[in-house]
Amino acid sequence: MEAALSVARLPPHDPRTPPLSVVDMHTGGEPLRIVHAGCPEVAGPTLLAKRRYMRHHLDYVRRRLVFEPRGHRDMYGAVLVPSELPDAHLGVLFLHNEGYSSMCGHAVLALGRFAIDFGLVPAPSDGAQEAQVNIHCPCGLVTAFVACEGGRSRGPVRFHSVPAFVLAADLTVDVPGHGKVVLDIAYGGAFYAFVSAEKLGLDVCSAKTRDLVEAASTVTEAVKAQFKIKHPESEDLGFLYGTILTDGKDAYSEEATTNICVFADEQVDRSPTGSGVTARIALQYHKGLLQLDQTRTFQSSATGSVFTGRAVREGKCGDFKAVIVEVAGQAHYTGTASLTVEDDDPLRDGFLLK
């Protein structure tokens, strides 16, 4: 009889490099790879300082986590770290193909479930149907509400955002190949440019993904070259994360509105984009197209998956009028892995194809 293969046994690897133990999830099709063991200590007194430290000293972890051959150019990662905020249950650093994000809504929805199921936050024992998980993201404290049943997470998760606001409305930008294009820039934990795909000669629902990526990336580069992105409270947050192409259906409707987000280095979000939904709700509220507590449904043109969003209350960010936005969606587990490195592997830190 053949000996049973031990699934706990690791393949040969460099003993100086601990394996990265990960849990894989997806939210609306957008992947999330969560590191829960094996990452070296990320030094720094604050979460933003930890983000800078990881970028300068531990970027090989991001490459091993996200890049091929262990990942792919559209993989997304999360490294859990301690938070300096007394109300936070956990801190998180977000990783993508270009570097480090300030906010990721699809990841927050997944991390809400993960925090309950892996014991970072206890499930309700008093009969409550929902647990609160306070997640310190680089943009600030985000509160997730996790549906629970029988001591486990179950069903959808929702979160309340940091204050979301409009940085520039009806901004005219000269976009190569498209002339002068009117667009908006809004913040939902990260800054995005918003433009109807129709203005670029495309249908967001039927165009080829490659064409949408090229158009969105051209917009992103044009905005970066012509407009200064500045966050009112932190220089670390003052950058354009990407462009979201929409179907132009911004007025309130019970029907879904479709969009696709292209961020970082032409990375395509498979979900409706949690921080993008946050920013788009803020934009619609700013323009008087939406009232408090009016729920909208947002659909990804990549996968058809949906999030819902609504403005729950007004707020401030610096001198900007803002809203707190609730975003809801469903995350699922897809597996676990131990990512190892051999000392003679010339591609140990990964690579990307374009």
The residues annotated with a catalytic role in the active site are: 104
Residues in Cβ contact with 255 at an 8 Å cutoff, skipping those fewer than 6 apart: 249, 297
Query: 11 preceded by cis ω (within 30°)?
Result: no
* Residue 68 DSSP symbol: B
Angle at 325 between CA 212 and CA 184, to 5 degrees: 40
Closest C-alpha to 280, from 141, 134, 169, 156:
169
H/E element, 157: strand 152-160
Residues 55/131, Cβ–Cβ less than 8 Å: no
Q: What are phi and psi of 251, to 5 degrees?
A: -70, 145
> What residues pair up with 23 in beta bridges, in sequence order?
34, 336
